[in-house]
Amino acid sequence: MKKSIKDFNLKNKRVIIRVDFNVPIKDEKIIDDNRIKMSLKTINYAIEKGAKVILLSHLGRIKTLEDKNQNSLKIVSNRLSELLGKRVIFIDTTRGEKLDNAVKKLKNGDVLLIENTRFEDLNGNLESNNNDELGKYWASLGDIFINDAFATSHRSHASNVGIASNLESGIGFLVEDELEKIGKTIDNPKRPFAVILGGAKVSDKIGVIKNLVKKADFILIGGGMAYTFLKASGCNIGLSLIDEQSIDFCKQLLNGYKEKIILPVDSIVSKVFNKDITLKNNNEFDYNDMALDIGNRTINLFKDILKNCNTIIWNGPLGYYEVESYSNGTKEILDFLSKSKKEVIIGGGDTSSAAINFGYKNSFTHISTGGGASLELLEGKILPGIDAIDNK
């Protein structure tokens, strides 16, 4: 078991917290500040316990000087200050005398935010390649390191693994919650246990399927990835999304787990994107039909299975949900599950966005904050950013 922030005496200590402030920004405005809000519990806890709080986060990808100009955390520090109701000291650099001096001046309960960690990527990807010297330098600024950025925990970066390798460390409340809700649910589901998988490519989900097919009672497959399975089972899928390299994998899986794997029986198809939208059964596809959502019979089939299940983990939208005409399957299943009072875990990335954007933010047991990180947890992998944290 990993140490948690609660296992440390934080008073008078310089506590470095790796948070996830990677928020969407447009025209110098934060479009969605949910990630900042999700970090408040850990930050406030550290403030209340009398720590000198030092925050690190990345924002976007930094490949050019232009990226750098557009991705300063200054705007985030202003919003954080509003949310905390106190001043946040923002240091517009990732290392050096200015930062060292500001850290030295910190008093108990102060909060300091360091500039975007990925600015270090302009200098040979030092952050993303977990440069040893950079990790050591950031660690030298603190006494304790807390990882509360779940969404980057599947990466071995200087701002998580690098610091944790050089300092006493623990996890924050957000990471603790993710590990508890996703990790423990997979190991100890209430049965029957169903996994819903969707999204574009089978190849991205092979690890998840391999790990969960033995543990789950049902795997319901929708979204673009369903059509590679349907092709593998001999259906004509027209011009629907296909992942040729995964056909053999799909065939093997369908042979081995016939009863567990549930595929769409009908789909919403178009010949031209967002035009002539038609509902078709599996055997009715024309050569130029593109399936972009699951159909009504499939929605009912999924609901019939889900109504008897007690734990449901869902990763990947069931259709091209970004476009209204193809969002019905994802919405219907979200709505059904939101009313079901079952243990429902929404596994990050597009599925979490869909759940939040369609109004189901508070309707489920858990909505993960990490796309890639939650996928790797579902694959049964150990995340490097968590692995590097001290054990109890």
Interaction site with ligand AMP (CB under 6 A): 198-201, 204, 223-224, 241, 291-292, 316-317, 319-322, 349-350
Is residue 35 flagged as an active site residue?
Answer: yes
Q: Which of 199, 224, 316, 349 is catalytic?
A: 349
Which tokens in the block code for residue 35?
């990630």
Q: Which is nearer to ligand AMP, 203 or 363 (CB)?
A: 203
Residues 6+ positions from 150 with CB-CB distance below 8 Å: 20, 174, 175, 178, 368, 369, 370, 373, 374
Q: What is the token pair recorded at 253?
A: 């899986």
Name the minimum Å distance from CB 302 to ligand AMP.
14
Residue pair 241/332 in contact by the 8 Å Cβ criterion: no
Q: How far, in Å, CA of 334 to CA of 133, rounded?
A: 46
**CB 295 → ligand AMP: shortest distance, Å?**
11
Task: In whole angstroms, give the CA distance from residue 101 to residue 346.
Answer: 43
The pair phi, psi for residue 298, each rounded to 5°, is -65, -40
Selected catalytic residue, list 2, 18, 35, 331: 35
- Amino acid 83 reads L
* Residue least distant from ligand AMP (Cβ): 199
Cα distance between residue 68 and residue 70, in whole Å: 5
Nearer to ligand AMP, 110 or 350 (CB): 350
- Exposed e or buried b for every residue in 328-352, given b needs 16+ CB within 10 A? bbbbbbbeebbebebbbbbbbbbbb
Element (H, E) at 139: helix 132-140
Shortest CB 296 distance to ligand AMP, Å: 16
Residue type, 190: K
Which of 121, 350 has the CB closer to ligand AMP? 350
**In angstroms, rounded to a whole number, what is the distance separating the alpha carbons of residues 5 and 144?**
9
Angle at alpha carbon of residue 196, lines to 193 and 198, rounded to 5°: 165
Closer CB to ligand AMP, 8 or 314, in the complex: 314
Task: Spot the catalytic one: 3, 41, 68, 201.
Answer: 201
End-to-end Cα spacing for the chain? 6
Task: Determine whether 162 is an active site residue.
Answer: no
Give the shortest CB-321-to-ligand AMP separation in angstroms. 6
Q: Which is nearer to ligand AMP, 319 or 370 (CB)?
A: 319
Q: How far apart are CA 126 and CA 206, in angstroms?
A: 31
For ligand AMP, the closer of residues 223 and 385 by Cβ is 223
Nearer residue to ligand AMP within complex by CB, 46 or 202? 202
CB of 268 to ligand AMP, least distance (A): 9
Is 155 among the residues known to form the active site? no
Q: Say how many residues make up the chain.
A: 392
Minimum Å gap between C-beta 294 and ligand AMP is 8
Choice between 150 and 320, CB closer to ligand AMP:
320
Active site (annotated) includes residue 13 = no
Task: State how far the Cα of 64 lies from the Cα of 86, in Å rounded to an integer.
Answer: 33
Among candidate residues 228, 114, 212, the one with its CA nearest the CA of residue 163: 114
Phi, psi of 314 (to 5 degrees): -130, 125
Q: Closest Cα partner for 196 from 223, 227, 214?
A: 223
Positions marked catalytic: 35, 201, 349, 372
